[in-house]
Structure 1
Amino acid sequence: MNRQPTDPAVVRPLHPAELAADVDDGPPWELPVPLGTVPPPPVFPIDVYPPWLADYVRAVATFTQTDPAMAGAVALAVLSTCAGGRLEVEPRPGWREPVNLFLAVVADPGERKSPVHGALTAPLLAAEAALAARVGPLARENAALKDIAGRAAEQAKTTAAKAPKDKRKELTEEAVAAALAAEAVTVPNLPRLLGDDATPEALTTLMAENGGRIAVISDEGGIFDILAGRFSAAPNLDPYLKGHAGRPMRVDRKGREAEFIPTPALTVGVMIQPSVLRKFGADADLTGRGMAARFLFVLPGSLAGWRNVNAPPVPPALSDVYAGNIHGLAATLAEWTDPVVLTLTPEADQVRTAHAERVENELRPGGAYHGMREWANKLPGTTLRIAGLLHMAHHPADGWRRPLAAERMAGAVELADALAGHYRTALHTIIAEPGHTAALKALRFLAERQMTTFTRRELHRRLIRQLPTAADVTATLDLLTTYGWTRPGPGSHYHLHPRATELLDSVDTLTTNINNAFTAGHSPETPVNTPVDSR
């Protein structure tokens, strides 16, 4: 947490370069305390994906003019939907790691989350429809047979009940046989890969009806409202906690048929706004039970203001290859009843071991992961899950017949390291002081318009939407003054730090360069409006 400039612990003689002359001949200005400083997340390593997927992710990012981290994260959720519950990674005898993931993309409104989501998930919807069409005729036929058998059983029961004593035994046996025959006719459920906006109880049923697995993939964050108690003051978290870990679930409730799922596999891939992330992180019950530690948060950079309004569309050839591979992978694995087990080559196990040891060392006091231990404790297992998904992406036609190679394990480590950086940034977003956002917006407004002197009323009038009340204006100016960015002048006037524009520009230049690198392999100087070769 930043200390206030008046804190005795940070008082020291200032170098002349740290002082700025006051245009009104007041005392020199000291360097202000950084406001709302959040470490930028690292670049999402798209190159760990196979070319057919990496090229498509880049093309979608180019067309939508978004950071490729957004499409890259959704792609990982799509792979988890395909392979979750159908694939396990076994690094050592006795340790099997499922490959389903919980992911949340965090971006402000207007950042084109829905177009990115739609482009990546369309093949899953098509695969789900194809699976349903394949099962549909059998389901309708069996439903008719069950209805006929049920009517026959009811008629047999009525006949037996009204029969004379000497014929009742024989007719009763026939009625029982008819009832058993009706019960034996099973009507298959139409296969589902995806679910959305479902209560925990409905989610459990969806998993039970679909071989223990389901994916909640959405361009909205409704799942977080459900977890926060939209339908219940004490929501049932078991489908999420056990669905992530793969632990057996048994549901016995009055008025419902018993449900048993020996190896549940739930995938979550949603898009949320920063305000939802803050609310989720502030929920003591959710964080206390380990929900936040199960999520991989991805925070793509914003390209608003630098977007090419005539960006090239996604080449049809890339769309066709992507759709074919995802559709084939989802449809093939959906028909399996038992998960396949991937083993590691000796070289891959060496990479895994080195990474796990590095994570363990960083969990110590002073280490990079000490402040996020609950999440990082799961990182070696998460890395194995990612490795399994990358393996299937690189070998969509026969990955289940191959061992997991060192190259895929190294790619998973690279991606896991990047996701750790994103999680660290997410933590800063969660704990950021609410007033900092409004104060930073006001500061940027003053600096961009070079309003070196202004009144409280002028600031209120020009930022009425961001600072709707006089109390908001007061709180913002108090914060900016405390941190050394503004100070009161005569009357109702305020003065802005003479170097405010320069100091903000130094931060904005770094942020812009990071945002501009919206394709893997491009340098930070790459202009955003330069079309990316998607071939």
Structure 2
Amino acid sequence: MTATVRHLAAVPTDQAAQAGWDVPVPLGTNAAAPPPFPLDVLPGWARDMVDAVATFTQTDPSMGAGVLLPVLSACAARRLVVEGKPGWHEPVNVYAATIAGPGERKSPVHGALVKPLFQAQQQMAEHVRPLIEQEAARRDIAQRTAEQARATAAKADAERRDAATAEALAAVMAVEEIAVPTLPRLICDDHTPEALVSLMAANGGRMAVISDEGGIFDTLAGRYSGTPNLDPYLKGYSGGHMSSDRQTRAGETIEDPALTVGVMTQPSALRKFAANPELFGRGLPARFWFIMPRSLAGYRDQDSPPVPVSVTARYESTVRTLAATLAEWDGPRVLTLTEEASRVRAAAAATIEEQLRPGGALSDMREWANKLYGAMLRLAGLLHLAHHPTDAWERPISAERMSQAAQVTAWLIAHYTAAVALVHGDPAGETAHDVLAVLVAKDMRAFTRRELHRRVHRKLPRAEQVTAVLATLAQHGWVRTTASGDYELHPDAHTYVNGALLSR
């Protein structure tokens, strides 16, 4: 992702004003860069890991936070719910999509933060494997007994037929009573909706789709069929009742399913997903938190220090213990709010409601923003669990934690706003923005069209493309023609663009 031109001041500098320049207009999708994740809302074991991974990979901490939240969700989904007020129970599973271009080091960040979930899953599998082998052997013996009983009944004479048939039926029923456990799963990658439902049914109604690729968006857009089955993703977000008759012959029924989604993908995949009319019409994009980490390419330290071993060990131990402990529970426990936390929630909710009014900051994204009330509670539950990983379910959520949830909610709003701008932005404006960055980087305060063409010929190989971009920059007030027919750059462009770069 290229540098973002920040919102400009209301007046140009004195030098620009004296030269007859006005304030230039921001280009295309390029609103202010989304803020970094507020790391101070996390406890030390999580904060240190996200910060150290960001330092080592030279990435925005928002990228790591975009993985951490689904990791916490994978541990707590269908095990904890938050009571916002009497009669309102909000689950804590989340859908998050981190958007970053190629080469932005998504995979190393993902691998470091998701690793303990796989470790916990392996430990759980090793624990249950002897029981699986035992029950599989019992079922195999029972099946053979039933087959022999059926054969005996089929050959029995009239006098013995009724008794032999009864024995055969009893043997068949004995087979059905032996349930062979499956290997427990916490996490999976890219699956069809049908396979996902089967995984959820086999794992107590919950599953986490966490991946450093965006294949899920292709799946939902109908990679495997012309009409995608959205039920696992629609009902897996808020719970309720989900029947899998469509997916399997067994026809499992899942009560209160809880699906976690945490994927990393590229801007092109986001555009395709969010602009899909069927997905948008069913409200699926509105369930996602889109996280837009700043690109640090060009400013990265190639000798950055590795993540300290002690930081990794503490993080992995905490996540493994959380995942294994909560996996053993049968049902959810309710997290309540203290009275002060309830007041904080109500005040934050009132602010959101006001911003939803016509002309308000959230009025143009109401479908997504209407879910912020629940999102704030989900965040409060996850932050509460992170701060109290050994006994969160035995204490109420504090006002401090609810305030932190409101702070992260504001962070989500800023990132969603940037994602919307990316999806609906003008591609011509994006190209012009990239060219403007070149003009600033090369200090081309006065230049000819041919000089610019030499600088950007790989991106704009044809002369008419350069002419069109210059026309866009001139219309927005970033460049203007001189009496000789050449061009000059706005005197304040360096301040605006470099300021945005430094804020990234």
Common fold: TM-score over 0.5: yes
Selected match of 1:383 from 371, 376, 382: 376
Q: Which amino acid aligns with 2:27?
A: L
Distance 1:470 1:172 in 2: 88
Runs of 5+ unmatched residues, structure 1: 1-13, 22-27, 516-535
Corresponding position of 1:35: 27
Q: Cα deviations across residues 73-123 of structure 1 (Å, max 9, x unaligned)?
A: 211111011101111011222110000001111111111111111110000
Corresponding position of 1:441: 434
Corresponding position of 2:279: 286
Distance 1:207 1:116 in 2: 26
Distance 1:462 1:15 in 2: 28
Distance 2:498 2:459 in 1: 24
Q: Which amino acid aligns with 2:204?
A: G
For residue 374 of structure 1, give the secondary structure of its aligned residue in structure 2. helix
C-alpha contact (below 8 Å) 1:363/1:369 kept by paired residues: yes
Rate the CA distance shift 1:475–1:80 in 2: closer, same or farther, 3 A.
same
Rate the CA distance shift 1:124–1:297 in 2: closer, same or farther, 3 A.
same
More displaced, 366-375 or 117-126? Answer: 366-375
Distance 1:259 1:225 in 2: 26
Selected match of 2:487 from 450, 473, 496: 496
Corresponding position of 1:505: 494
Q: 2:193 aligned with 1:200, yes or no?
A: yes
Corresponding position of 1:423: 416
Corresponding position of 1:10: none
Distance 1:192 1:494 in 2: 67
Corresponding position of 2:100: 107
Corresponding position of 2:39: 46
Distance 1:421 1:271 in 2: 18
Distance 1:512 1:498 in 2: 18
Distance 1:510 1:15 in 2: 15
Corresponding position of 1:295: 288
Shift of 1:18: 4.7
C-alpha contact (below 8 Å) 1:486/1:495 kept by paired residues: no
Rate the CA distance shift 1:443–1:42 in 2: closer, same or farther, 3 A.
closer
Distance 1:480 1:293 in 2: 34
For residue 341 of structure 1, give the secondary structure of its aligned residue in structure 2. strand
Q: Which amino acid aligns with 1:186?
A: A
Selected match of 1:453 from 431, 447, 462: 447
Rate the CA distance shift 1:498–1:464 in 2: closer, same or farther, 3 A.
closer
Corresponding position of 2:218: 225
C-alpha contact (below 8 Å) 1:455/1:494 kept by paired residues: no
Q: Which amino acid aligns with 2:502?
A: N
Shift of 1:326: 0.4
C-alpha contact (below 8 Å) 2:189/2:210 kept by paired residues: yes
| TM-score (normalizing by structure 2) | 0.92
Rate the CA distance shift 1:156–1:47 in 2: closer, same or farther, 3 A.
same
C-alpha contact (below 8 Å) 1:32/1:483 kept by paired residues: yes
Rate the CA distance shift 1:475–1:136 in 2: closer, same or farther, 3 A.
farther
Distance 2:119 2:460 in 1: 46
Rate the CA distance shift 1:54–1:16 in 2: closer, same or farther, 3 A.
closer
Corresponding position of 2:301: 308
C-alpha contact (below 8 Å) 1:79/1:393 kept by paired residues: yes
Q: Cα deviations across residues 125-152 of structure 1 (Å, max 9, x unaligned)?
A: 0001111111111112211221221122
C-alpha contact (below 8 Å) 1:486/1:494 kept by paired residues: no
Corresponding position of 1:169: 162
Q: 2:106 aligned with 1:135, yes or no?
A: no
Selected match of 1:85 from 78, 86, 91: 78
Distance 2:218 2:127 in 1: 35
Distance 1:459 1:159 in 2: 90
Runs of 5+ unmatched residues, structure 2: 1-11
Q: Cα deviations across residues 442-480 of structure 1 (Å, max 9, x unaligned)?
A: 232244334533345x65565343235566445434433
Selected match of 2:341 from 342, 348, 360: 348
Q: 2:140 aligned with 1:147, yes or no?
A: yes
Shift of 1:486: 4.8
Rate the CA distance shift 1:235–1:488 in 2: closer, same or farther, 3 A.
same
Shift of 1:395: 0.7
Q: Percent identity?
A: 53
